[in-house]
């Protein structure tokens, strides 16, 4: 009787193949971990960049919000003091028959803490000629004011200066702006929703 013996040992090529498969799996896992780590780092960088962008946007918004705060009664009084000062200076230089009137945001009530103060110099009667904005610097220099800029060729010629921390724009005989500002103020008194338009 012939006995057949079956080998219980794994052939060499099978062991080699198994080792190679194990190394491949380990390499694949290592690459997967590397890719995952890179993905996490990328997400972290994006989150940090988004956070910086949000913080910058919030900071910018807060600056704008601060600048857009409704002007206080003290600020409005400062603008009225500027108007009175300009009125006195220009009356002394030209004549008593003029008046500096407020128009724009401080007249309509839609003013913020950073709003410019707009004034028109109304000459009720002037015997020789009506002065232009080019004449305003000389008039104000006599009262000690400096750094006055004129824009004579604008649609509405203006003279600009800074008084008591307030940007001031002056023009000549633009009474329509005064009336329009009064109308806007009345509209907002009649219906509070007007301010949101």
* 151 phi/psi in degrees, rounded to 5: -125, 80
pLDDT at 195 over 70: no
Q: Which of 172, 197, 177, 174 is nearest to 187 (CA)?
A: 197
What is the average pLDDT across 170-188?
90
Indicate if the pLDDT at residue 89 is higher than 90. Answer: yes
Q: How far apart are the first and last CA of the chain?
A: 111
117 Rama class: left (phi>0) / alpha (psi -120 to 50) / beta: beta
Percentage of residues in the chain having pLDDT higher than 90? 30
| Residue 98 β-bridge partners | 123
Concatenate the DSSP letters of all residues of 146-193 into one string.
---EEETTSSS-EEEEEETTEEEEEEES-HHHHHHHHHHHHHHHH-GG
| pLDDT above 90: residue 115 | no
Distance CA 93, CA 87 (A): 10
How would you classify the pairing of strands 98-103 and 117-123?
A: antiparallel
Nearest to 184 by CA among 107, 70, 102, 112: 107
154 has a pLDDT exceeding 60: yes
Does residue 51 have a pLDDT over 90? no
Greater confidence, 69 or 8? 69
Query: In the predicted model, what is the mean pLDDT of the chain?
Result: 82
Please, is 174 exposed, middle or buried when counting C-beta atoms within 10 Å of its C-beta (0-12, 13-18, 19+)? buried
The pTM assigned to this predicted structure is 0.62
HEC per residue, 96-129: CCEEEEEECHHHHCCCECCCCEEEEEEECCCCCC
Cα 104 to Cα 71: distance, rounded to the nearest angstrom: 13
Rounded CA-CA distance 139/143 in Å is 7
Beta-strand pair 149-151/117-123 = unpaired
């Amino acid at each position: 009787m012939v006995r057949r013996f079956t080998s219980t040992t794994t052939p060499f090529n099978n062991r080699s193949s198994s080792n190679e498969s194990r190394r491949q799996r380990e390499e694949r896992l290592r690459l997967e971990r590397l890719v995952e780590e890179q993905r996490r780092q990328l997400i972290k960088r994006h989150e940090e960049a988004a956070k910086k962008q949000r913080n910058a946007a919030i900071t910018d918004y807060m600056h704008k919000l601060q600048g857009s705060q409704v002007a206080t009664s003290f600020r409005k009084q400062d603008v009225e003091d500027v108007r009175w000062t300009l009125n006195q200076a220009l009356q002394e230089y030209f004549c008593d028959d003029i008046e500096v009137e407020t128009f724009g945001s401080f007249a309509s009530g839609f003013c913020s803490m950073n709003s410019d103060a707009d004034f028109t110099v109304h000459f009720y009667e002037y015997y020789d000629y009506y002065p232009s904005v080019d004449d305003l610097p000389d008039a104000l220099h006599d009262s000690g004011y400096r750094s006055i800029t004129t824009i004579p060729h604008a649609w509405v010629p203006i003279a600009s200066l800074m008084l008591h921390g307030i940007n001031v724009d002056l023009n000549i005989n633009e009474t329509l702006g005064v009336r329009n500002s009064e109308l806007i103020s009345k509209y907002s008194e009649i219906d509070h929703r007007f301010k949101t338009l």
